[in-house]
Every structure is written in structure tokens, then in C-alpha cells.
Amino acid sequence: MKKNFVLYLFAMLFVNFASSQILYQSDFEVWQNNSPLGWDGLNTSIEQSSVTQSSDAISGTYSLKIQDQFSTSFKYLSSSPFYMMPDKTYEFSFWTKGKGTFLINIYFNQSATMTIFPREVFDNNDWTEYKIDFTSFILEDSASIEISLGFSNILSANGLLIDNISIKEKGNFNYLDINNILAAIFPSGSLFNSKANLNSVYSDFESSAPLFIVPKSSGQASTIFQGNIWVGAKDGNDNLHLAAETFYENEFSFGPVSTNCNSTEYLEKYNKVWKVSKAEIQNHIENYYIGGYVIPQNILEWPANGDTLYGESQRIAPYCDVNSNGYYDPQNGDYPAIRGDQALFFVFNDQNQDHLSTNGEKLGLEFRAMAYAYENPQDEALYNNIFISYEVVNKSQNTYTDTYLGMFTDFDLGYGQDDYIGYDSTLNLAYAYNGRDLDGPYFSAYSGVPPVQGKMLLSQNASKFIYFKNSSDPVLGHPSNPNEFYNYLQGKTRTGNPITYGENGTNQSNPPTNYMYSGFPELGTGWNEVTLDNEPGDRRGLISYGPFSLTPNEKICFDFAYPFAKDSNATTPEGSLPLLRQRAAAIQTFYNAQNIDCGYNDVSIKDIGSINQNNFMLYPNPSNGKFIVSSFEFIPNSKIEVYSILGAKLFEKEIKSNSQTFELNLNSGLYIYRIKVNKSVVKQDKIIIYK
Ligand SMILES: [Ca+2]
Ligand SMILES: [Ca+2]
Ligand SMILES: [Ca+2]
Ligand SMILES: [Ca+2]
């Protein structure tokens, strides 16, 4: 048996290499000693006599037949262990026929259990296929897992048949983990929820795994269940276009707007979130030309350039075109232009799939997004925060007006059914705090005095903030058509009335307001949930900005931050709010000091008439700090700028002759210089200072 087990694993590895899409497959074709090969996992509890071979199969000759499990409690048949990588979404599929109750668990490293297919009563006369998406939320490099099939209530002599189990890699998520927060991002733009694309039929609160874990060291306590973009706008004929995701990935899909979006090539390139660190980039810049240096995969495959043949934008992910040839070639020194010490890049759009959640008409928008974080543990505000930046491009032919863009966030502060929500309009900050003194009970509840979590808009003053209920409430419940989503984006009730100040925000005899729950619960002043003594519960909120217009190819940028706070002196759930407000203010100051333009510094090279990079020479290089910029003849309106490798401008001087000496008072190291004529970059390259 031991020998067979080794052979089996080898065969699995072979499958894995032959098709990178399939992680695991079991067809119940090979049986030994009346047991299916590959099903001798430690978590097996079912009697051997119940496990039989059937020649009624959907694939091959045989299937698995479970019989004589009359009990209502589950007995399990577990697979031999195999390895699963983290950061990936998988599609689990199987075929079944017959009657019985069934579930699927996964055991990680023989201890942690995750129910990926909650109990279901089957009654299928014919072979029926079931599919479910799940995410490996393992945080090690890989984990040994066992699939465990659970059976109960199998009363019929025909038993319950199972065949052709397979696990396919569906998409890659990735996560920030450089500071106190572990936050997952999905290729289609869905934020934080590891099971965002779960079919609603199987959604199971206990087994879903939000991945906004903070403090990271807690390993499981999370403050946000999910976040997603909402956007609505009117076209020239006053028709509403709308894309808004809440929990299911039915509106946005990964990749840029493209006519090639159904090809394997597109899928392989874009079903991904690219993760790079400042340290990796620095190392790349210093070593790319050295033999033996291997370019990290995410730098190599950085989606810098789209395929214009398919209508994709030429520039997608920001990069430094160090050799000024107009395209991304990292083997020649180009590198991703990121913010922060660690960044995730993702690109998604609302064009490539129909909007199945809202039934809204498509807008044709492309979202180029970067989530990033700073390591610096000395700076408590940055250490307990992540940023997400969006560049939104109108790839349609429509000119949109009355456009609103919102960020939907379902805060679940530990246990998600006992929370409160609020808003600080001076900081553009929405926040969640616990509605009861203690959080939970729940496996990932916070112990002690619960912390607080914020979400803030950095780049604009938010126009509206609303909270709406997880219910069918006709005024403030979950929206069910494009107009209702658009009403929420405009800070109105589901029915289109203004939100009003006080009570639950809907009493039309009160004055209209832009921001719900804008008071100070920690002081007991203004409109807030503590003073109202609301019943704690599930809280979700939408910050929105608008109205604005968007012409074809126009872009607009939005930057968000997600500060977290737990004040060790706090004695109440709202007691950490002053610290959160303080951190939010510090983050806004930090952000403002970056002077971030919309998008990223576009370092593409533009020809200025006949002037191009060949007109200028810089030497010596490497230099001791003193160098000469020369040109054949003097070129007016030209200047030189020197940047750190991460894009901070360190030096700027006008070029006033055709051979001018400059002196840089900088430490030894590698820098980037740019020569600009009439504000356009005509040359960009490295300069090495060696003292
Ligand atoms: Ca079979
Ligand atoms: Ca290049
Ligand atoms: Ca809670
Ligand atoms: Ca919630």
C-alpha cells in the first residue's frame, strides 16, 4: 500500500505538470482490496463495507458507491494527502447520482477543517454535476490537505454514487502582508473575501473566510468581510448604466477591456494579481544585467502593455521605461512603478461579462488598481493601514454624466452580527465598531475590548455616505435593481428619497443630510448608533463621490485607505475611535505630501519634433556626483531631473548650454535621470553615483 501511495502522488504531480489547470482528479477507476486507490486518508471514519465499486459511471468504467449509511450523523471517506498552494481560487467539481445527504470538508495539515460544500440532500435520478469555488486560505507556502467526503441518510439500496472529482485552479488571489494587516485581493477586483465567487446556493456563514486579518499575528480575526466598487452613470440618451458588486463576482471580470477576452491567452495572462515589493524592485534595478540573476516572476510578467490589436490599452500597469523604447522589457532594466513597500496590481473591467447581480447596462470601464502598504512598524498609522488606488478609464464611446463612484464595504468586526457603523465627514472616514461590549461569540471574534476599523477616501471629498441593511426592507434594505443601486450611490433611500438627519435616516420630516451617523459615539454627541441605542447587527456602508462626467478615454482616479485602531487604554468598543480619527488624519497628511497625480508618473518617452534621446549625452556614468550633460547644439526649454529608484524627485536643474556640468550631492547608489524638453521626457536612464 505504501508503494502504491508514492506512485499515486507521482501520477498526480504528472497531471499537475501536464495541465497547470488541474490540481487534483479522482475517477474511482482503480480499486485494490475493495477500496478505491487514493482514498486512505487519516480522516476516514466510514465502514469499509459501505464503500463499494459501481459499474454505473459517468466517466470511465467505475464510480464510488456508498451504501448502508442509515445514520443521520456523517461518516467520512478521506483522500490521501496532497499539496495545495495558497493564494488560489479553485473550482471543485464532482458528479453524483442517487439519494443521500452529502458534504465535503477539507483538512489542512490534518487539523484545520474547512467545509467547502455544506450539507446537501441529494435526490438525483440521473448523473448530475456540482461545482463549487473555494479558496485555499493557507498561509504557508503549501499545505498537505485531505478531501473528506461526508455521507449520511443513505437509505436506498441503490446507494449514493460519486464520480469524477476534480479540483481545477480557477484564479489567483494575492495578499498584502508586509505590515500589521493581511488583506487579500482578487483578480476581478473583489476585496478581502476569500470566497467571494461562491455560488449563493452554497454560501455558508460559518465557512466563509474574510481575509482582512488584523492584527496579522492573530491569524484569523478579521474586520472586513468584503469590499467592492459600485459605479453608475447616464449616457447621452439619459439611460442608466450601472455596475455594482456586493458579494458575488457577477459584474466585474479580470483583465483589461479587450476583444480577446475569451481566449486562453487572455485568461492565462490576466487571471492574476501581481505582487511585488520595493526590495525586489531595488534588487532588480541593481542586478538585471548581471549573469545568473533571475527576474522574479511578478516583475517578469508585470502586465505593463496590453495588446492593441485587441483594443487593449498600450499601457496598463505602471512601469519605468528605463531604456525608453516604449515597451516593458524588464530584462533590459525596466521595472514596475509601485507605491509603498509592497504592492498588488490588479486590472478589471465591467465590459467583458453581463451584469448578473444588478442587471445594469454595461459602462465599458477599465479599472487599473494598486493595493499597497508600508512596512515601517515605527509609524503606527501606516503600520495599521493599507491603501488602494484606482485609475478608472472610460473605454466606451459614451460620454457619461451624473456619474457616481462608490466603495461598498461590508464591515464584519470579528463576529459580524453585533456591529455598529458611523462616519466622520471631516476625514471622509467610514468606520465600524462593536455594538456590544464584547465581540462574538464566533471562532474569529476579537477577545477583550474590540478594535475599530475604518475606510476613507483620500483623493476627493466624499459626496455621500450611507448605511443600508442586510434585509429586504423596502426603504433601506438590499437594492434589487439598477435604479435602487443608483439611488444609494446618490445618497438616497432605496426608493429615491433623501437621507435625512436623525433617527434611522428616513424620516422625511427631518432635514436632508449627505452622511449617515455623522456624530461622535465616543462623546455621546450628534447622530450616532450608541446614543440611538440601536440593536447591534450586520453593518455595511457605501462611500460615494459624484456627480462627475467621463468622456471617452477620460480617466479619473480614486485613492482609499483602510486604517485600523485598537487603543490599549480603551474600555468601551467606541473607545478606540479617537485613535482611529488621529490615524486617519495622519494618513491623509502623508497621502497629501506624496503629491500623487491621477494614475502614476507616466514615464513614457515622447518625441518632441526631431528631438529625441539621441540628442543628449550624460557622462561619466558611473560618476562621483559630478557629471556633464551635453548635446550637439543647445536645446532650449530643457532640464534634467534625478529620481530615486522609487520615483522621488531628488534634483532638478535647467539645462542652459550644450555642455553643462552638474553636481549631485547624493549618496552612492543607483538613481534615474530624466531629460525633459518642454515638459516632455525625451531621455531616461540610470545614473550610478559611486563615491
Ligand atoms: Ca469513473
Ligand atoms: Ca523598455
Ligand atoms: Ca463584531
Ligand atoms: Ca457586516
Q: Is residue 337 part of a domain?
A: yes
Q: Is residue 452 part of a domain?
A: yes
**Closest ligand relative to 421 C-alpha:** 4
390-400 average pLDDT score: 97
CA 52–ligand 1 middle distance (angstroms): 13
Same domain? 128 vs 240 = no
Q: Is residue 557 part of a domain?
A: yes
Average pLDDT, the chain: 87
SS3 content of the chain, % helix, strand, coil (to 5): 15, 40, 45
Q: Which residue has the cell 479617537?
A: 578
CA 324–ligand 2 middle distance (angstroms): 5
Query: Using CA atoms, how far apart are residues 39 and 52, in angstroms rounded to an integer?
Result: 12
**More confident call, 17 vs 336:** 336
CA 58–ligand 1 middle distance (angstroms): 6
Q: In this structure, what are the phi and psi dihedrals at residue 625, rounded to the nearest 5 degrees?
A: 120, -25
Domain end marker among 152, 171, 190 = 171
The one-letter amino acid at 211? L
242-264 average pLDDT score: 89
Query: Using CA atoms, how far apart are residues 552 and 58, in angstroms rounded to an integer?
Result: 51
Same domain? 125 vs 219 = no
**Closest ligand relative to 30 C-alpha:** 1
Query: Using CA atoms, how far apart are residues 184 and 137, in angstroms rounded to an integer?
Result: 10
Structurally, the chain folds into a number of domains equal to 3
pLDDT at 265 over 50: yes
Split at pLDDT 50, 70, 90, the class of 25 is confident
Split at pLDDT 50, 70, 90, the class of 21 is low
DSSP secondary structure code for residue 80 in this structure: P
Which residues 6+ apart lie within 8 Å of 211 measured at CB? 137, 175, 182, 183, 184, 192, 193, 194, 222
Domain end marker among 593, 623, 638 = 593
pLDDT at 56 over 50: yes
Split at pLDDT 50, 70, 90, the class of 209 is low
Same domain? 477 vs 551 = yes
Q: Is residue 273 part of a domain?
A: yes
pLDDT at 11 over 70: no
By the CB criterion, residues less than 5 angstroms from ion ligand 1 are: 27-28, 57, 59-60, 163
CA 318–ligand 1 middle distance (angstroms): 48
What Cα–Cα distance (Å) separates residue 145 from each residue in 38, 110, 563, 616? 13, 7, 34, 59
Evaluate whether 411 touches 453 at the Cβ level (below 8 Å).
yes
Same domain? 486 vs 531 = yes
CA 673–ligand 3 middle distance (angstroms): 51
**Closest ligand relative to 28 C-alpha:** 1
CA 403–ligand 4 middle distance (angstroms): 26
Same domain? 546 vs 629 = no
C-alpha cell at 153: 441518510
Q: Is residue 45 part of a domain?
A: yes
Instruction: Tell me which residue range forms the domain holding 133.
Output: 2-171
CATH code of the domain covering residue 646 = 2.60.40.3080
By the CB criterion, residues less than 5 angstroms from ion ligand 4 are: 410, 412, 416, 538-539
Kind plus residue range of the DSSP H or E element containing 281: helix 278-287
For the stretch 510-529, pLDDT in tens is 999 999 999 999 999 999 99
330-347 average pLDDT score: 93
Number of H helices, E strands in the chain: 8, 38
Q: Is residue 246 part of a domain?
A: yes
By the CB criterion, residues less than 5 angstroms from ion ligand 2 are: 321, 323, 325, 329, 334
CA 452–ligand 3 middle distance (angstroms): 10
In this prediction, residue 413 carries a pLDDT of 95
CA 380–ligand 2 middle distance (angstroms): 38
Same domain? 159 vs 223 = no
CA 31–ligand 1 middle distance (angstroms): 11
Evaluate whether 673 touches 687 at the Cβ level (below 8 Å).
yes
Evaluate whether 392 touches 366 at the Cβ level (below 8 Å).
yes
Same domain? 212 vs 127 = no
**Closest ligand relative to 536 C-alpha:** 3
Indicate the burial class of 419 (C-beta count within 10 angstroms; 0-12, 13-18, 19 or more).
buried
In this prediction, residue 110 carries a pLDDT of 67
Same domain? 166 vs 239 = no
CA 446–ligand 3 middle distance (angstroms): 8
Same domain? 118 vs 209 = no
C-alpha cell at 101: 445527504
Same domain? 658 vs 543 = no
- Put simply, whether the predicted model's pTM sits higher than 0.95 gets the answer no
Q: Which residue has the cell 438627519?
A: 501
What stretches of 290-426 adopt beta strand conformation (E)? 319-320, 335-336, 342-349, 365-373, 387-394, 400-411, 419-424
Q: Is residue 180 part of a domain?
A: no
Same domain? 303 vs 424 = yes
Q: Is residue 638 part of a domain?
A: yes
Same domain? 487 vs 579 = yes
